Structure 1
Amino acid sequence: MSRTTEMILGILGGLIGFGGAFMALFMGAVDEAVSGSTELNGLGTSAFLFSALAIVGSIVVKFKAKLGGWLMLISGVAILISISLFGVVPALFLIPAGLMGVIRKPKAQNIAA
């Protein structure tokens, strides 16, 4: 079964997640310079790692749909928790793609002999 939709949504979500992670890292650097807090840097780093996991999941979904779907679903929720406002758009791509990978069933093939 072709899982092109899940793969494209996963790659888009991962790439946009990288953008959100870089924005969070930038804001974390500004926050560290102003107040000395490094909390946002850790959250940006975790979002960066989960974005990479989302891209891996979008590649895996072509071969093992359930595993790739779970990777994208976990990544979407984790990015949303890590960098809340910057993670909304990647989560809107990753969570439906993950659900499609987990729930969608292959079409039955009718073989007429």
Structure 2
Amino acid sequence: MSRTTEMVLGILGGLIGFGGAFFALFVGSLDEALNGSSELSGLGSSAFLFSATAIIGAIIVKFKAKLGGWIMLISGVAILVSISLFGVVPALLLIPAGLMGIIRKPKTEKMAA
């Protein structure tokens, strides 16, 4: 069964997650330069790792749909938790893609008699 929808949504969510993670890292480093310490840099780093994991899950969903779906679902929730506002759009792409990978059943073809 073709899982192109899940793969495209996962890759887009991962790439937009990279953008949110880089922006969180930028704001965190700016805050650290001005105030001396910032938690946002660490959270941006974790979002960067989860974005990479989401892209890996999007590739895996072509071969093992449930495993790739779980990876994308967990990555979407983790990105949303780690960088909250910066991670809303990637989460909106990754969570449905992950659920589609987990729930969607392959179509059964009827034999012509």
- TM above 0.5: yes
**What SS does the aligned partner of 2:32 have?**
helix
Per the alignment, residue 73 of structure 2 pairs with 73
Counterpart CA distance in 1 for 2:56 and 2:78 is 15
Report the secondary structure of 2:15's partner residue: helix
Q: Which residue identity does 1:46 align to in structure 2?
A: S
Give the TM-score normalised by structure 2.
Answer: 0.98
Q: Following TM superposition, by how much is the alpha carbon of 1:43 offset from its aligned partner in structure 2, in angstroms? A: 0.1
- State the aligned residue count: 113
Question: Where do 5+ consecutive residues of structure 2 fail to align?
Answer: none
Counterparts of 1:7-86 in structure 2, within 5 Å, are 7-86=7-86
Greater shift, 67-76 or 37-46, is seen at 37-46
Q: TM-score, normalised by structure 1?
A: 0.98
1:5 corresponds to: 5
Displacement over 2 Å in runs of 4+:
none
Map 1:92-103; keep pairs closer than 5 Å: 92-103=92-103
Report how far residue 41 of structure 1 moved.
0.6
Work out the CA distance in 1 between the residues paired with 2:67 and 2:80: 20
Distance 2:64 2:112 in 1: 28
RMSD over aligned CA atoms reads 0.7
Structure 1 residues not aligned, in runs of 5+: none
Report percent identity of matched pairs: 81
User: Structure 1 residue 37: deviation in Å?
Assistant: 1.5
Deviation, structure 1 residue 38: 3.1
